[in-house]
Amino acid sequence: MPSTRLQSLDVLRGIAILGTLGTNIWIFTHPEGLVGYLNGTPDSDWRPVEVVLQFLAQGKFLGLLTVMFGIGLALQQRSALRAGQHWPGSYPWRAVLLLLDGVVHFVLLTEFDVLMGYAITGWIVSYLLLTSPRTQRRIIATAAAVHLTLLAAITVVLLAGPSETGPRAPLEPNPYAHGSFWDLVTFRLDHVVLFRLETVFIFPMSIALFLLGARLFQAGVLEPRGTALRRRLMWLGFAVAAPVDIALEVTAGGPGLLVARYGVAPFVSLAILSAVAEFYVRRPHHRWAGRRLAEVGRMALSSYVLQNLVASAICYGWGLGLAASTPPQHRVPVTVAIYLVVVAVVMAFAHLWLRRFDRGPVEWLWNTSYRALARPTGRRQFGLPAEVATSSPNHFSLIMS
């Protein structure tokens, strides 16, 4: 595998991880957490800034992370077949471990965890990759059609439903602001169905994007030969989808945000992927920012867990409690400041850790557990191509991608 492709993969993983924080940080800094975020935020002088910042992140990096996961599956399948191994082979064990990671992450840290859904989707798609390209295209089209049908139905219900009048009752008791760490754990478990609805809703979209990522990788989207493909995706995402996304988020309220996040933003994600890949095809050497993003991408799971842990400790009542203590008129600048602090912590930790170790701490634990379950006899049995094993030893980052 050319080194340029490896570099773009690590950077894209880092962008996707820190980009998802750009959406989730507004949940952390809301005094009522995810519940309050879903109920909307009152207007303030900073509202236009918040709209712009949320537009830049809303749905784009969730889509990018999902597509990158499909690319990671395609990489593992290719390396396994080149080594003469059966696919999906031991991958189901990886999916099981990722599911367990997601359960722990959901219960202890964040009710908007994506790992559980990715584990189940990845397990299914690992078998779908055995089908013919024509069958995969049909599955992508079918899954996308199911997703858009569900999205349209929910949007119609929201538009037809009665509009709220009067102030909303506050969340009482409020475990985000006044509860202990274990109060929040109990709150997540008590509302597990509500908090897992998004995972169920986006399941068809995830199937489509996983397979699409694999198909794009096989079509050379990260290679010099994929120039024409990248240009088409950038035109579709930046020139067509992005203006539609802006219009929906600014003018159509809650239903528009829903359609933008789950219907239009994935096309912008493809454009972001293509733009980064094009940059590294033309300029294969990392600069400072690229090196920092690549380090975050190399230990993607550790970075994902760490950013949620740090943001929780800063914002929730069991930590510093800044979300509840920040006046509403200052929430936007404080949110931006907290985001920058969390990003700095994650980048610094990734840089310092990788100076001594070849994989992140959570990846090490995951790798140790996988070895105990799958009992591979050599490094090749991890599904790693030799080039990746040499220059990017964190094989879990391929799974996270």
pLDDT of 303 reads 96
Q: Which pLDDT score, from 0 to 100, does residue 389 have?
A: 37
**Averaged pLDDT, 51-79:** 91
Query: Which residue in this structure is represented by tokens 């506050």?
Result: 170
Query: Residue 188's pLDDT is what?
Result: 95
Higher pLDDT, 251 or 2: 251
How far apart (Å, rounded) are the C-alpha atoms in residues 242 and 268? 6
**Whole-model pTM?**
0.88
CB-based contacts of 137, cutoff 8 Å, min separation 6: 215
d(C-alpha 216, C-alpha 72), whole Å: 12
Q: Per-residue pLDDT tens for 229-277?
A: 999 999 999 999 999 998 888 776 778 889 999 999 999 999 999 999 9
Choose among 326, 247, 312, 259: nearest CA to 46: 326
Residues 6+ apart with CB under 8 A from 157: none
To the nearest whole number, what is the mean pLDDT of the chain?
A: 87
pLDDT of 395 > 80? The answer is no
User: Cβ distance 9 to 292 under 8 Å?
Assistant: no
Amino acid occupying residue 72:
G
* pLDDT band for position 203 (cuts 50, 70, 90): very high
Distance CA 239, CA 321 (A): 41
- pLDDT over 90 (residue 379): no
Mean pLDDT of 146-152: 96
Query: Of the candidates 204, 275, 208, 264, which has an alpha carbon nearest to the alpha carbon of residue 240?
Result: 264
Residue 204 has pLDDT above 50, yes or no: yes
What does the pLDDT average to over 2-8?
A: 57
pLDDT, residue 286, reads 73
DSSP state of 222: T
Interval 157-167: pLDDT, tens = 888 876 555 56
Q: Is the pLDDT of residue 336 over 90?
A: yes
Residue among 373, 378, 365, 352 nearest 105 (CA): 365
CA–CA gap between residue 122 and residue 134 (Å, rounded):
20
Band of the pLDDT at 39, cuts 50, 70, 90?
confident
| Positive or negative: CA dihedral 318, 324, 330, 331 | positive
What is the pLDDT confidence band of residue 383, given thresholds at 50, 70 and 90?
very low
